[in-house]
Amino acid sequence: MKLSIVKIGGNLIEKETALEQVLENFSKIEGPKILVHGGGKMATQMAEKLGVETKMVDGRRITDQETLNIITMVYGGLVNKTIVAKLQAKNCNALGLSGADLNSIKSVKRPVKTHDFGFVGDITNVNTNMFSLLLNNTITPVCCAISHDGDGQLFNTNADTIASEIAIALANEFEAELYYCFEKKGVLRSIEDEDSVITDINTEIYQALIKENIIADGMLPKLHNCFHALEKNVHKVYIGSVDMLGNEKEIRTTITL
């Protein structure tokens, strides 16, 4: 049975019309599905309002206790419940989850190498039995970018990684397809040209694009997650806009080994 795992980025979440479009398309996907979301930009905006400084290293957020509190409020509360309510309005029976809920995603604190990222978690376990139970009862999990360690500690966790690890964990039971949805039509050859979509990327092309500095910054870890998922038996991986959901003919980037 096909399972669709869709991750949506912050730019889609904070714009009302974009969020409505992605949830409309997502709700129409047939069969079992899972939605994964972050909300980094909204967390940054909330931190500014509360006078909490946002610290970033190499594009990744340093998560101290105050920042973790804000992330928990924004990701697990405002964003997650807004998405769940909107999906219910579209007859999609959704259940909002953090990694602590139903023990869905466990992690350990990221080890300190060059930087201490604070309360940031690296995933150690996905509760496949729980996800299977929900999916087989036509319940759609909506997972925010928070995990836990089993000892009462929450962790900020990369949403792209959560999506790929869920897909990997369920790949033995389902034909898992992973969709990374953001505001572009796919991976672009030129950031200035919205239509310069690279429609197919395999390992060889990926390495060449890195050397040419076409793939850099935030796209690097995203593509790392894509290839990692494919190596672990995830069936298909795509990167593109909301229009690719439920539309096989839509332009997008297909990732293969």
The reply, when asked if residue 40 is annotated as ligand binding, is yes
Task: Tell me the one-letter amino acid at 242.
Answer: V
Do residues 143 and 36 lie in contact, with contact meaning Cβ atoms separated by under 8 Å? yes
Q: Taking the CA of residue 11 as centre, how many other CA atoms within 13 Å lie in the half-sphere pointing to its CB?
A: 7
The annotation status of 9 as a binding-site residue, yes or no, is no
Collapsing DSSP to helix, strand or coil, 36 comes out as strand
Q: Which residue's entry shows tokens 């850099």?
A: 216
> Distance (Å, rounded) from C-alpha 181 to C-alpha 24?
13
Backbone angles phi, psi at 253, to 5 degrees: -105, 125
Does the annotation list 60 as a binding residue?
A: no
- Residue 39, annotated ligand binder? yes
Reference 223, options 212, 242, 209; nearest CA is 209
4 has which bridge partners? 33, 177
Rg (CA), the chain: 17
- Known binding residues are 39-40, 61, 156
- Known binding residues for substrate are 39-40, 61, 156
